[in-house]
């Protein structure tokens, strides 16, 4: 065995000197990670209300204040096919880890066989033949790739990084699903509010039509005004039916998100009054956003996986040693099968060295470097888009708050005008049509305020998603150069 070790050591030194025949000189990645310090958002976000505890919680939807929504989201997370798809992808990625890890370990196989055959005269060295021979063997074989340059380890770490990315995307699928359920629920609430206003519009139109019919019968009105009021009432009935259909459609959409049939939507009650999902921004957004957004964390994992793939590709340029051994018994004589004479064994160190491969190794490394550049570019794109989404959501919410304040003033004025019209009507100073006209302004003001409330609720849910929806991963870890977060450490302990 000492001779074998000396042979391996000498051969390694000899072939290493030849490794320059296949080299990767001049092949390097072109892209670099964008430091978070380059992404300025202070002017946009500086005036927003902030709080150190403003990062969304994992069950952020409870801030909306409706227990029915909580039940719906839990049902969706348990039964939706979207979650099942993400879970299957995660299982596949974990299986790839196990496969890559297995390639780093030695393999040990055992085999036993027995065969009986008739020996012909031609096969018999003694020229007799025409007899039966029984061959027996019992062998144990051992195989181990020494992985001198860490290529197999790097491939395992690359698979680990991809699996971690899939794990984060599995959690992202849950976030996306919960956000979609919440937004559909907000839309359902808006459909009910629209239906209520449409019903009141219909009641108003019907009262005007009744008044015009009475005036027509009394000869105090012409038929044109009566026909116009009938058209208005018909349009109001159409608006009510349209609102009813919106309610049915939103219920069906929710049923689909729950992974159920359309009938499931019929059991969903009317939402209660909802509150915004988030009221303030975290105190430090750009620096910590990369640890809260699932897409950013997954993109960073893929950069790490791609860098390990480069290490594995470079390791193929160097010589590698594979050690194989076999021990066991072989015999054609059953009585002597376990005797000293039947023992069999071998040790086979094999060295491989790429000398000339037509450029295949370099092409493979070029492709791997390009994959790394793609992963880095996607990461850079993701963090830019992430910060942009937060800025857009918060500025939209600020604008909606200002619009809502103005519309609230308009609503108060419309209510005062309606009250004054009623007082004048009761005092005999105005007819009932003046009251109905004021009511129309009041209904329009209420409808616009309801629409602004719905937009505000919907944007608050989108902001929750933009902030990561409760994901918190390595947010307390020290940042790398330029504020670039390192890929989170693998849960599995690497093999030494």
* Contact between residue 151 and residue 315 where contact means Cβ atoms under 8 Å apart: yes
| Cα–Cα distance for residue pair 418/191, rounded to 1 Å | 25
Question: Residue 182: is its pLDDT beyond 90?
Answer: yes
| Cα–Cα distance for residue pair 178/182, rounded to 1 Å | 6
**pLDDT digits 0-9 by tens, 451-471:** 999 999 999 999 888 888 877
Strand-strand pairing, 50-51 and 343-352 = unpaired
**52 and 142 assigned to the same domain:** no
Residue 325's CB: how many other CB atoms inside 10 A?
18
**Average model confidence (pLDDT) across the chain:** 77
Q: What is the CATH number of the domain that holds 451?
A: 1.20.1600.10
**397 and 286 assigned to the same domain:** yes
**346 and 314 assigned to the same domain:** no
Q: What is the CATH number of the domain that holds 117?
A: 2.20.200
Residue 488 within any structural domain of the chain: no
The predicted pLDDT at position 493 comes to 33
Residue 18 within any structural domain of the chain: no
Confidence label for 496 from pLDDT (cuts 50, 70 and 90): very low
Residue 261 within any structural domain of the chain: yes
| Residue from 163, 100, 174 nearest 490 by CA | 163
Cα–chain center distance at 224: 61
Looking at the structure of the chain, the number of domains it has is 2
The predicted pLDDT at position 191 comes to 94
Structural domain range at position 175: 34-104+147-319+354-483
**346 and 435 assigned to the same domain:** no
**115 and 259 assigned to the same domain:** no
Name the most confidently modeled range: 35-39, 61-65, 119-123, 435-439: 61-65
Task: Supply 378's token pair.
Answer: 């996607």
Distances (CA, A) of 165 to 19, 94, 151: 35, 11, 21
What burial class does residue 180 get, using C-beta atoms within 10 Å of its C-beta: 0-12 exposed, 13-18 middle, 19+ buried? buried
Q: Residues 487, 491, 493, 494: is their CA dihedral positive or negative?
A: negative
Question: Residue 185: is its pLDDT beyond 90?
Answer: yes
Question: Residue 245: is its pLDDT beyond 90?
Answer: yes
The predicted pLDDT at position 466 comes to 87
The predicted pLDDT at position 19 comes to 46
Question: Residue 36: is its pLDDT beyond 70?
Answer: no
> Which percentage of the chain shows pLDDT scores above 90?
17
Q: What is the side-by-side strand order in the sheet with 131-145?
A: 107-119, 131-145, 320-331, 343-352
Question: Residue 479: is its pLDDT beyond 60?
Answer: no
**93 and 211 assigned to the same domain:** yes
**342 and 469 assigned to the same domain:** no
Stated as kind and residue range, the H or E segment containing 110 is: strand 107-119
| Residue from 252, 270, 248, 254 nearest 262 by CA | 252
Q: Which of 192-201, 272-281, 314-323, 469-478 has the lowest mean pLDDT?
A: 469-478
Average pLDDT rounded to a whole number, residues 184-191: 94
**173 and 188 assigned to the same domain:** yes
**pLDDT digits 0-9 by tens, 139-150:** 788 777 777 777
């Amino acid at each position: 065995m000492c001779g074998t070790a000396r042979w391996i050591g000498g051969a390694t030194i000899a072939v290493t000197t030849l490794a320059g025949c296949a080299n990767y000189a001049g092949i390097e990645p072109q892209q670099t990670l964008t430091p978070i310090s380059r992404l300025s958002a202070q002017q946009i976000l500086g005036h927003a209300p902030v709080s150190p505890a403003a990062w969304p919680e994992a069950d952020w939807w409870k801030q909306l204040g409706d227990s029915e929504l909580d039940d719906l989201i839990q049902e969706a997370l348990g039964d939706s096919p979207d979650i099942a798809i993400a879970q299957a992808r995660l299982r596949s990625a974990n299986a790839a880890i196990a496969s890559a890890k297995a390639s780093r370990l030695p393999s040990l196989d055992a085999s036993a066989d027995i065969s009986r055959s008739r020996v012909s005269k031609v096969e018999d060295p003694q020229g007799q033949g025409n007899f039966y021979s029984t061959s027996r063997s019992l062998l144990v074989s051992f195989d181990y790739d020494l992985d001198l340059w860490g290529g197999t380890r790097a491939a395992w770490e690359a698979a680990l990084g991809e699996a971690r990315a899939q794990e984060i995307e599995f959690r992202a699928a849950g976030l996306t699903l919960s956000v979609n359920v919440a937004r559909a629920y907000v839309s359902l609430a808006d459909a009910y509010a629209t239906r209520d206003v449409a019903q009141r519009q219909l009641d108003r139109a019907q009262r005007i039509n009744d008044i015009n019919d009475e005036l027509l019968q009394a000869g105090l009105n012409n038929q044109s005004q009566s026909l116009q009021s009938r058209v208005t009432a018909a349009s109001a009935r159409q608006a009510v039916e349209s609102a009813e259909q919106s309610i049915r459609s939103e219920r069906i959409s929710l049923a689909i998100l729950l992974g159920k049939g359309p009938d499931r939507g019929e059991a969903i009650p009317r939402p209660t009054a909802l509150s915004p999902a988030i009221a303030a921004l975290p105190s430090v957004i750009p620096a910590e956003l990369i640890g809260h957004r699932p897409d950013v964390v997954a993109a960073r994992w893929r950069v790490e996986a791609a860098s390990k793939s480069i290490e594995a590709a470079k390791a193929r340029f160097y010589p590698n040693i594979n050690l194989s051994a076999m021990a066991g018994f072989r015999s054609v004589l059953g009585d002597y099968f376990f005797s000293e004479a039947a023992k069999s064994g071998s040790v086979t160190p094999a060295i491989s060295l790429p000398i000339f491969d037509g450029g295949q190794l370099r092409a493979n490394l070029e492709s791997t470097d390009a994959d790394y550049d793609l992963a880095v570019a996607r990461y850079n794109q993701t963090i830019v888009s992430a910060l942009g989404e937060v800025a857009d959501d918060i500025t939209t919410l600020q604008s909606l708050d200002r619009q809502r304040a103005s519309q609230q003033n308009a609503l108060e004025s419309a209510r005062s005008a309606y009250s004054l019209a009623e007082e004048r009507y009761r005092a005999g100073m105005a007819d009932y049509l003046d009251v109905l006209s004021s009511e129309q302004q009041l209904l329009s003001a209420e409808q616009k305020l309801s629409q602004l409330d719905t937009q505000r609720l919907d944007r608050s849910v989108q902001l929750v998603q933009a902030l990561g929806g409760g994901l918190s991963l390595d947010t307390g870890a020290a940042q790398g150069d330029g504020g670039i977060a390192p890929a989170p450490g693998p849960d599995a302990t690497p093999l030494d």
